[in-house]
Amino acid sequence: MIHPSETKQQIKDFALAHAKIDKIGVAGIERFNGAPEGYHPTDFLPGCKSAIVCAIRLPDGAVQAVYRMLEDRRLHLHGIYPAYGYTGAANYTLLFAAMRIARFVERLTGEACAPIPAGPTHGAKTMSLRHSAVAAGIAEFGWHGLAMTPEFGTRNRFCVILTTAELESDPLYDGPPLCDPVKCGVCAAMCPTNAIGKYDPKRARSFDVGGKPCEYSMFDGNRCKMATSGMFAEFNDSGRDLYDVFANPHPIHTEADGLQAFYYTHMNNNFFMHATSWKCGYCMMYCPAGNWKERFFDTGLSKIDTRKYIKD
């Protein structure tokens, strides 16, 4: 009989060699005790005992396309990022990786596996991929609420394979903190709608994952939508702040207002009918975790020196 630790290592070796992922970790079911109702692994796979979490690194060249939009006003180049860093190739890479890993684990263990879609690819309800990445020990949270890895910072995407196989949890990340929101204010400074806000304990959402204390900003989701949906002039070709065309030309304050704004912009205005929903991402792109300086600023890919928002 194969020892459980050997089974886990075989799964990891297969995933790295044949599923072409960059990082992998395992979280036992006990790591999800604080999951909201309806989002616990057993809500997706009855009898689930483990979650296998995988990450891929986003290409630096795809990430820097967002810089070209903000820094050079080359709006047409921004499409490179959603194609290769968001819902396009990145999600499908993870989709096929999860399929391969799930089939391998089922053959190896005889247990059931349920791959969870990597993002909003097929309209399926999904559990939190970022919380799963933290639970599996391959990431930790930043103030912006994104899951960061020490190697790649925020520039990852994740997938989860739930299984009824009982696998030992990997240690939670315990290396140097990847985010110090007291000293670093990059994500708050770069957010065009102030959706994140500077660090304030009163704005923090505190919780624990597997006994590890975590926190991130209680960011304003509707303000975030205004940027990601191209409602500000700097994110679209019209030169207009699109929320000004509403009957109530004020910033969005409620979820209902946000949905109305989204509908008007994307469905009831032919000029913006085909507008994308990836027109921001600055909190992710400019986060200094994962050697931003060496990989982006020092290379000239970014012209904005965000180090001025970091306290010594």
**Rounded-to-integer distance, Cα 89 and Cα 78, Å:** 15
Residue in 290, 16, 297 with CA at minimum distance from that of residue 148: 290
Residue in 124, 133, 185 with CA at minimum distance from that of residue 154: 133
Tokens (6 digits) for 21: 């992922």
In contact, 101 and 118? CB cutoff 8 Å = no
Q: Give Cβ neighbours of residue 309 (< 8 Å, ≥ 6 apart).
A: 184, 185, 186, 188, 189, 190
pTM comes to 0.86
Q: How many residues does the chain have?
A: 312
Q: What is the full per-residue pLDDT of the chain (312 aa) written as tens digits?
A: 456 679 999 999 999 999 999 999 999 999 999 899 999 999 999 999 999 999 999 999 999 998 988 888 887 777 888 889 887 899 899 999 999 999 999 999 999 999 998 866 566 678 999 999 999 999 999 999 999 999 999 999 999 999 999 999 999 999 999 999 999 999 999 998 888 999 999 999 999 998 899 999 998 877 787 777 766 666 666 555 555 433 333 444 444 454 455 544 444 443 333 445 567 889 999 999 999 999 999 999 999 999 999 998
